[in-house]
Structure 1
Amino acid sequence: MPPRLLLIDAIGPFFRGYEKSRINWSKIPFHHLPVHGSERAPFWARVRQDLSHFCREVSDLGYTAVTLDDLSHLASHPSHEPEITGKIAVFRQEFARIFDLIREAGLGVYLTSDILPLTPRLAAEFGGRRPALDDYYADLVRGVLDDFPQLGGLILRVGESDGNDVRDAIRTQLHLTTARHTNRMLRKLVPIASERGKDLILRTWTVGAYRLGDLIWHRRTLAQALEGIDSPHFIVSMKYGESDFFRYLPLNRAFFRIPHPKIIEFQARREYEGAGEYPAPIGTDCERFARELRQAENLVGVSTWCQTGGWHRFRRLAFLPDAGDDTWIRINARLIAGIFREEKTTDEVMRDLYGPERAPAVIELLRNAETVIRELLYVRDFASQKLFFRRVRIPPLLHLYWDCLFINHPVRKIMRHMVQDPERSLREGEAALALFPRMIQLSREAALPVRDLEHWRDFCQIVCLARRYYFLPFDEEIVEALKNAKTVYKRNWPKSERQRYRIKLSFQPFHLKRRTIGWVAGILLRKKRGYRLLDHVFTLNLLGLAYRASKPRRKQDMPKFLRKSAMGIDSLFK
């Protein structure tokens, strides 16, 4: 039976006029939203206008509800600082109008929340007392559900909090650190939602922090967190794989292990694959997962992230008027809805979307684009490996992260150690690059954005050169070719176009030998989900202590993206 609930995030309108060079797309930038003065009325009027358009667009695609951020900026508390109280009062007024607008458009509304939000005054008042903090958060949930009856429910994120770059006075922090504590919190929150006929959706996504950090894949942690929770209003939401939104990941087996109502999460605006700047079709994966999930119990929904996710300069806004081309995001969002709700194939969805004349060219283009992503952006030999470090599954994309391509000696040595058949990797990359002339021709035939394919081609030429640098014997000619290619790329795709990748070149020697890398990898990485004795003694405990002890000396030596983006690398060692 097709799922009844198709969620899609609607945060795009709130990024209008947000001009940071690199944007945190994980949540609405509330500090940017005007709450007084002459800017307030036109800004919020534009948001409502955009959302009206958004609702029409996604409703036509088959979506039934939207998600918006977030509880912390709509929940009042008597101990809030006066300035924060004033801002929250404005947000409550404006979002009440937005919720009404969405409901009038025939869509449900779900509000996101991290567990849990604090201000400086609240942090001082509660002083880290967990029972008091639990009660405080339960009061916030109760108040928001009572004050906003338009809501269909809340979506809780327990394994990630605000990024290190967030400067908002209201900041979220990781509060739940164990499965048992998570279970106690759910036993408080589920009755609050159920009594009001609202859904409480728990996301299992984590970044590996604390003992709860393996919730997304560890069966015992998940079972302990959900023990005794039984309500038709409680739903578990999981990303399709055991890591973030990457390729080469099998379907998370937790979909078949727990009886609770479940949602599967996808990303239409692929944060690790250009964020909508070029085609990154996911129809093949969606079809495969949909077939497998026919054997799963109680799949009630699908959640699509069409704007949320990543720290990067790419700026395409989905389903908004006069906001630039969202073709590739739109295709993925339509594929997700068509495959899961209408039980169609990728080809059938594209025929419906583009008609009999354009569809053949679109279908061929998407197939070729998927080949380029799987065989050139990813290195198949590495991406196919199942590797775990501490409580996280290692991402299958090593050298390309958000809007950064890393070409340096450490990546070269790690690649040469991890990839067993470099010659095949070189052949696959070259063959994928050779598909671009045909793809550009197909984009013209189908009247799709040709310039996007031209940009992607130029970037992939650098990716292909990088693969030669990784796997061929060291040659100064390759180094010079990479430097020249970067210069040409920056000239052809200036920053003003805001679709350009950052090419991080460094050819400084990395003095660890491959034998040492192999020895370190054997200690730190494992190929099975279960923990080894070595992990219980060293990787999960002593290594974390050693990392925290050395942090003050090492902090400024780390690359900025490891310190500033998301929660930073520190979260891996908590």
Structure 2
Amino acid sequence: MDLYLIDAISPFFIGNARRKTNWSKIPFDHIRPDKPEADELWASIEAGMEVFAEKVADVGYNAVSLDDVAHLAQSDHYEIEIQDQIHLYQKRYRPIIDILQKRGLKIYVTMDVLSYTSALLKNVGTSTRSVTAFIKELLTDFFKTFPEVKGVIMRIGESDGLDVHNEFRSQLILKRAKQVNRLLKETLPVFEEQDRELIFRTWTVGAYGIGDLMWHRSRFIKIFQDIDSPAITISMKYGESDFFRYLPLNSHFFRLNLPTIVELQARREYEGSGEFPSFIGEDYSQYAQELRKAPRLRGISVWCQTGGWTPFCRLTYIEKEGIWNEINAAVALQVFRDQVSPEAALRNFAQSHNIPNIDDFVNLMQKSEMVVKRLLYIPDIAKQKFFFRRVRIPPLLSVYWNNIFINHSLKKILMHLTKNPKACVRDGYAALEEIELMHAHAEKCKLPVDDIEFMYDTFSILAIAREYYYQTFDRSIRNRLKAAKKSYKNKYPKSLRPRYRIKMNFDPFPIKRRTLGWVSYVALRRQRGYRIIDRLLILHFLSTVYWVIRKRKPNIIPKFARKSAMGIDTVFR
């Protein structure tokens, strides 16, 4: 392996104080170079990048990713004011690139297909032919402007979130495998001529015909059919969904004889985003062992800051509070590059960071992994495989980003899917007891004890919620949950610390269990491939029904599902 890539976006979030933040891309509206305070802001970014570059290079990473081509490459198709903005961004990025180069870090820049302005949409449109021609022009200009950049990381299966208000906003343009294949064949010569690399991401969110690229064998093969270029590397998340636990290794890594890298996440966006330890050593060690049989694995891509829409705002490698993410990033690198055990990697980290009582440190991190897998997740549910339309259902149902859902509809769903409800309640409280032991380990290691306490208080609510999910309804459980929520909010006011949102609703869910079972049997499948009913009903007819209902009753979908990220509408495209 030769590529050990890590995202370098955390310095760009310095001073970006928001209640909830979109961590999927650099906050360009925050760092606009024409702001009155731009000089001071960019000086802070440069200082932060100095710290970041030194630390990740010392850990052993040899490459970084930055956002994004749209803000750094010129085109006559843009508005004049946009061209002026791009010119300023180019100037501001020069010192950033110099800092990274001095540390021996290769630089890759992300790109969506395609990021539009109003003028660009009007001048270029959305046809595959015109979009491909524009991208070729844009890349040519970009490579000439930034000869220091090693390559581009291209994303075609997800666009900017609904909360992005910027000069540029990306849209999903490519809908079929044939279109993606054509784009690759026509743009790869640009990379070859300029001696650059294209890192092509297979990540998709379920939209359109290519929405199943993450797991669909035929779609994957068609997209890379007849692709034979020294300039391309395929980048894939380790599983068939997002960065969750309990996912088997994606078998796409073994399908083609093209170079690949595996995407990993150190700042676990669905597991607290670094507000408490959520160790990933054992999971990643298992993936690393399996990937030793992959035909052409050339490295890893670790996300230490990217991902999620949460108020959790710790900056990895910039602030001391980012320690839990840094542990994961260091261990992931050692497990894949050096083929050491997670425990050995932890001991190496403790020694290099002068952490006392190394045995306690190892126990602390190992317990954190166990607790997350047993209490944040519900193993009985997480181990099951379900698909809906083109996406694999996440194994984490009751918690999403910083939201904990406790309601009667979820209670019915979990009861329907769970094989041993009593064991789920018992195992939840057993895991909670382990956090108390983690507290003692953290004290001995002089690590943030407050984070362990926050973890305990949050997971206590999850443990009580299991009683609600899996026991006959009892008013006392409801009262305990309400009291726990009130205590939690009082202990962690938003002004002092970001916290989870506890979304409770005990109103009866009108659908009977028998009906729920029938609906789940029809709508969900346990196999990857599509059933006849999926092709006839779920993929097309259900989509039409959804959009008719959505138009007539726009508020029928909860605000969380409508407004977060790209919104649930994406799944029905």
| Alignment partners' CA distance in 2, 1:237 and 1:452 | 33
Which amino acid is the alignment partner of residue 476 of structure 1? R
Cα shift at 1:87: 1.2
| Alignment partners' CA distance in 2, 1:243 and 1:530 | 15
- The answer to whether structure 1 residue 354 and structure 2 residue 350 are counterparts is yes
CA shift in 2, pair 1:32/1:144, >3 Å = same
Q: Deviations over 1:377-411 (max 9, x none)?
A: 10111100011001100000001000000001111
Which amino acid is the alignment partner of residue 50 of structure 1? G
Cα shift at 1:100: 2.1
Aligned mate of 1:328, from 305, 324, 330? 324
Aligned mate of 2:80, from 79, 82, 86? 82
Cα shift at 1:190: 1.1
Cα shift at 1:155: 0.3
2:556 corresponds in structure 1 to: 557
Cα shift at 1:215: 0.6
Q: Deviations over 1:27-63 (max 9, x none)?
A: 0111111322541111111111111110110011110
| Alignment partners' CA distance in 2, 1:478 and 1:180 | 54
Aligned length: 570
- The answer to whether structure 1 residue 139 and structure 2 residue 122 are counterparts is no
Cα shift at 1:253: 0.5
2:444 corresponds in structure 1 to: 445
2:405 corresponds in structure 1 to: 406
| Alignment partners' CA distance in 2, 1:230 and 1:133 | 22
**Where does 1:55-454 land on structure 2 (aligned, <5 Å)?**
55-320=53-318, 323-355=319-351, 357-454=356-453
Which amino acid is the alignment partner of residue 10 of structure 1? A
Cα shift at 1:532: 0.4
1:536 corresponds in structure 2 to: 535
| Alignment partners' CA distance in 1, 2:90 and 2:189 | 24
| Alignment partners' CA distance in 2, 1:425 and 1:172 | 42
Cα shift at 1:487: 0.4
| Alignment partners' CA distance in 2, 1:439 and 1:76 | 52
1:53 corresponds in structure 2 to: 51
SS at match of 1:433: helix
Q: Deviations over 1:117-161 (max 9, x none)?
A: 111111122343331122112211121112111101000011000
| Alignment partners' CA distance in 2, 1:424 and 1:378 | 14
Q: Deviations over 1:310-346 (max 9, x none)?
A: 00100000001xx351111011000111111111111
Is the 1:439–1:453 Cα contact (8 Å) retained in structure 2?
yes
Which amino acid is the alignment partner of residue 533 of structure 2? L
2:569 corresponds in structure 1 to: 570
Q: Deviations over 1:38-97 (max 9, x none)?
A: 411111111111111101100111100000000111121112122212211110111122
Is the 1:62–1:341 Cα contact (8 Å) retained in structure 2?
no
Which amino acid is the alignment partner of residue 335 of structure 1? V
> TM-score, structure 2 length as denominator?
0.98
Task: Detail structure 1 runs of 4+ shifted over 6 Å in the superposition.
Answer: none
SS at match of 1:495: coil
- Aligned-residue sequence identity (percent) comes to 44
| Alignment partners' CA distance in 2, 1:237 and 1:401 | 25
| Alignment partners' CA distance in 2, 1:444 and 1:160 | 42
Task: Give the stretch that moved more between structures: 293-302 or 33-42.
Answer: 33-42
Which amino acid is the alignment partner of residue 79 of structure 2? E
Which amino acid is the alignment partner of residue 288 of structure 1? Q
CA shift in 2, pair 1:128/1:295, >3 Å = closer
| Alignment partners' CA distance in 2, 1:169 and 1:330 | 33
> TM-score, structure 1 length as denominator?
0.98
CA RMSD of aligned residues (A): 1.1
SS at match of 1:30: coil
| Alignment partners' CA distance in 1, 2:84 and 2:557 | 39
CA shift in 2, pair 1:128/1:350, >3 Å = closer
| Alignment partners' CA distance in 1, 2:461 and 2:254 | 41
Which amino acid is the alignment partner of residue 267 of structure 1? Q
| Alignment partners' CA distance in 2, 1:72 and 1:165 | 18
Cα shift at 1:350: 1.4
Q: Structure 2: where are the runs of 5+ without partners?
A: none
Cα shift at 1:556: 2.0
Cα shift at 1:20: 2.0
**Where does 1:473-552 land on structure 2 (aligned, <5 Å)?**
473-552=472-551
| Alignment partners' CA distance in 1, 2:127 and 2:417 | 45
Q: Structure 1: where are the runs of 5+ without partners?
A: none
SS at match of 1:285: helix
Which amino acid is the alignment partner of residue 520 of structure 1? V
SS at match of 1:159: coil
Which amino acid is the alignment partner of residue 76 of structure 1? Q
Is the 2:272–2:402 Cα contact (8 Å) retained in structure 1?
yes
- The answer to whether structure 1 residue 4 and structure 2 residue 2 are counterparts is yes
Is the 1:315–1:498 Cα contact (8 Å) retained in structure 2?
no
| Alignment partners' CA distance in 1, 2:171 and 2:358 | 47
